[in-house]
Amino acid sequence: MILALLKKHWLSNVKGDVMAGIVVALALIPEAIAFSIIAGVDPMVGLYASFCISVIIAIAGGRPGMISGSTGAMALLMVTLVAEHGLEYLLAATILTGVLQVLAGVTKLARFMKFVPRSVMVGFVNALAILIFMSQLDHFENATWAMYALVAVTLAIIYLFPKVSKTVPSTLVAIIVVTGIVLITNAGVYSVGDMGALPNTLPVFALPDIPLTLETLMIILPYSLTLTMVGLLESLLTAAIVDDMTDTDSDKNRESTGQGVANMVTGCFGGMAGCAMIGQSVINVKSGGRGRLSSLVAGVVLMFFILVLGDLVVQIPVAALAGVMIMVSIGTFDWHSLATIHKVPRTDATVMLVTVGTVVVTHDLAIGVLAGVVLSAIFFVAKISHVRVKASLEDNGKTKRYRVSGPLFFAACESFQKSFGLVEDEVEKVIIDFSASQLWDDSAVAAIEKVMMKYKQRDIEVEVTGLNEHSSSLAKQMKLGDNPNMSAH
Amino acid sequence: MFKHVLLAADGSDHSLRATEKAIGLISTQDDSFMTVFYAVDTQTAKTDVLHHYDGDMLKEERKKRLAGVEEMLQKANVNYEIVERHGEPGPAIVQFANESEFDAVVVGSRGLNGFQEMVLGSVSHKVAKRVEAPVMIVK
């Protein structure tokens, strides 16, 4: 039984998984270094993270064939924490993020993904793309023409090399070629070595060196909360994409728990918090990776390359990495949403733009998502708060029947009350028919009461009818039933 | 007349033009059969998941994309099935077309200019070159 499972998840596609794993490892290296630079930590922190996370997620994850590691979305959230408190606090925040994600997995929080509207998700990825792009602009400050030229060469190779060969990642070819150009011409541009140390050592276990106080917790908790949210959001989105590409299903709760375990371990081994990566997962699936083995191979091969080639890695010019990040940014942006922005409902477009705008201003993806969700909720309430009230005369004009349709709740009360005119002087009886409506809260009952009062003051009989079971029990609870003229069918 | 025709379609205008020609090609006998092949490439998969997320909604949306093609086939009384596969359109069509025997393969052409063809690659060109059955490219 266990052997059969092992075979299915690990050994069913050995050749494809190993080949794809190697390709992914090569594509991961430049990104992991670049994300470290974004976060403001040594390149090793991002590389250790990508190693630990992809190895652990191979075992603990819920979506075989998906690749996780250090990511731009997570790196962008850490910038201020690193700048103000340093690496040790980042590692502690990473461990706490892991704990929170495990909790989210155990409590099956993944189902709440449904509550994040699609337009917010689109805003999220677009904002992420813009932030990654903006983070690269720093490298161009006071830069020489050489920097611009090298970035251009990098991008040209990245986009045109796939015409020559699709087996070798074009980002790696670009990095090697541009590093070669810099070494030969002595162009004098910044390299990875100038950005931080890159020791050729395996990560070692060490708990973060921080005071275990409430104050520490209050510093890292806000960061951990946003890291948890953004990490799970991107991981579950990536899992859904891999599900679709491979026509298989995956366990989203196990994936959440797995992401948590991976981050807890990463934090203990000197790595920064990470999550699943859409781009790398796509590379993996396209290269033939399907099983858990591909993620394991990616992590191990990445570490191997860093240990062996560490001295060469420090020579990589920052310009080449900036080129890779611009490519990541272009690939992340949902261009489809830009092309169809005039076609989608205006509220959806507004939610997307507000999400993007909030993130760009606050530099916080989590705040952007919250703003988007809240705005969507407001639009939703506004959309369904239109109750329609239709009047018709019965009984030779002596009775007027008002048919109410649509849910009646706090936001709909005003338009409900306004629907009852004051020209009822000639009728003797008014019937308010709720058979096509539903009362949702005490505001609804109060609104009905006010309308009834208005008629009673002018000696017009009022009958409330057609309340369904839930509505009439709510009405009774609110003592609307005390009125002798009221009958609920 | 052809009995078993493979029509590569994605619901775009040029694929509707291709559908029209494919209907003209296929024999009117009862045992004739059209296979409509829709390749979902990575970019489309990414966009679709981002905009729909939920698996069932996503399938529904992709089915809608081919509604125009289906309508034309139903009007013409053609027996058909729809096959959806993941992959880059060019290689995916070639692989599928050569897996089983078709009397003819019909694809639409996007009408790219020279530069676009160099960067994006021409699907119809790949299909014409590598599919073993006779290929009709509809402009």
| A278 contacts B58? CB cut-off 8 A | no
| B119 contacts A159? CB cut-off 8 A | yes
Q: Which of B53, B86, B119 is the closest to A118 by Cβ? A: B53
Asked if residue A189 has pLDDT above 90, the reply is: no
Chain A contacts in chain B segment 94-133 (CB below 8 A): 118-119, 121
A344 at the B interface (CB within 8 A)? no
Instruction: Supply the pLDDT for residue A32.
Output: 94
Residue B136, min C-alpha distance to chain A (Å): 25
Alpha carbon A205 to chain centroid distance? 30
* % of chain A with per-residue pLDDT over 70: 97
Q: Which of B45, B51, B119 is the closest to A122 by Cβ? A: B51
Q: Which residue has the tokens 């560490």?
A: A310
Beta-carbon neighbour count of residue A108 at 10 Å? Answer: 12
CB within 8 Å of A220: residues ≥ 6 apart: A81, A89, A92, A93, A96
Instruction: Supply the pLDDT for residue A484.
Output: 45
Q: Specify whether the backbone of A188 is left (phi greater than 0), alpha (psi in -120 to 50) or beta.
A: left
Q: Which residue has the tokens 């994006």?
A: B120
Rounded to whole angstroms, the Cα distance separating B81 from A57 reads 39
Which chain A residue has the Cα nearest residue B40?
A245
What is the residue extent of each domain of chain A?
Answer: 2-334, 388-482
DSSP state, A317?
A: B
Two structure tokens written together for A219: 């510093």
Structure confidence by residue, pLDDT tens digits, A435-454:
888 888 888 888 888 888 88
Written as one string, the DSSP assignment of A35-99 is HHHHHTS-HHHHHHHHHHHHHHHHHH-SSTT--EE--HHHHHHHHHHHHHH-HHHHHHHHHHHHH
Rounded to whole angstroms, the Cα distance separating A348 from B52 reads 13
Alpha carbon B38 to chain centroid distance? 5
Instruction: Supply the pLDDT for residue A24.
Output: 92
Helix or strand holding residue A322 (H, E)? helix A318-332
Instruction: Supply the pLDDT for residue B7.
Output: 92
Instruction: Supply the pLDDT for residue A423.
Output: 60
Rounded to whole angstroms, the Cα distance separating B103 from B6 reads 8
Topology of the domain covering B4-109+126-138: Rossmann fold (3.40.50)
Alpha carbon A285 to chain centroid distance? 21
CB within 8 Å of A418: residues ≥ 6 apart: none
Residue A346, min C-alpha distance to chain B (Å): 16
Instruction: Supply the pLDDT for residue B127.
Output: 83
The domain A388-482: what is its CATH number? 3.30.750.24
| A240 contacts B53? CB cut-off 8 A | yes
Q: Which of A118, A163, A286 is the closest to B52 by Cβ? A: A118
Average pLDDT value for residue range A124-152: 90
Rounded to whole angstroms, the Cα distance separating A155 from A171 reads 9
- From chain A, the residues in CB contact with B55 under 8 A are 240, 243-244, 249
Alpha carbon A20 to chain centroid distance? 26
* B93 three-state secondary structure: helix
Residue A385, min C-alpha distance to chain B (Å): 25
Q: pLDDT band at B112, cuts 50/70/90?
A: low
The values of phi and psi at residue A288, to 5°, are 105, 5
Alpha carbon A86 to chain centroid distance? 26
Average pLDDT value for residue range A67-86: 94
- From chain B, the residues in CB contact with A163 under 8 A are 118, 121
Q: Which of B46, B118, B119 is the closest to A241 by Cβ? A: B46
Q: In the structure, how many helices (H) and strands (E) does chain A have?
A: 20, 6
Beta-carbon neighbour count of residue A311 at 10 Å? Answer: 10
Instruction: Supply the pLDDT for residue A292.
Output: 94
Write down the mean pLDDT value for chain A.
Answer: 88
Instruction: Supply the pLDDT for residue A489.
Output: 39
Instruction: Supply the pLDDT for residue A110.
Output: 76
**Beta pairing, strands A68-69 & A275-276:** antiparallel
| Helices A118-137/B42-52 angle, 10° precision | 120
Instruction: Supply the pLDDT for residue A215.
Output: 92
DSSP state, A138?
A: G
Query: What's the whole-model pTM score?
Result: 0.82
| A114 contacts B86? CB cut-off 8 A | no
Which chain A residue has the Cα nearest residue B52?
A118
DSSP state, A225?
A: H
Written as one string, the DSSP assignment of B24-45 is HHB--STT-EEEEEEEE-HHHH
Average pLDDT value for residue range A118-123: 91
Strand partners of residue B104: B5
Instruction: Supply the pLDDT for residue A115.
Output: 78
Structure confidence by residue, pLDDT tens digits, A196-245:
777 777 888 888 888 889 999 999 999 999 999 999 999 999 999 999 99
Q: Where are the beta strands (DSSP E) in A371-428?
A: 388-394, 399-408
Structure confidence by residue, pLDDT tens digits, A321-378:
999 999 999 988 999 888 888 888 889 999 999 999 999 999 888 899 999 999 999 9
Q: Which of A101, A16, A15 is nearest to A57 (CA)?
A: A101
| A240 contacts B49? CB cut-off 8 A | yes
Cα distances (angstroms) measured from residue A202 to each of A290, A312, A424, A486: 27, 17, 85, 79
Q: pLDDT band at A488, cuts 50/70/90?
A: very low
What residue type is assigned to position A227 of the chain? Answer: L
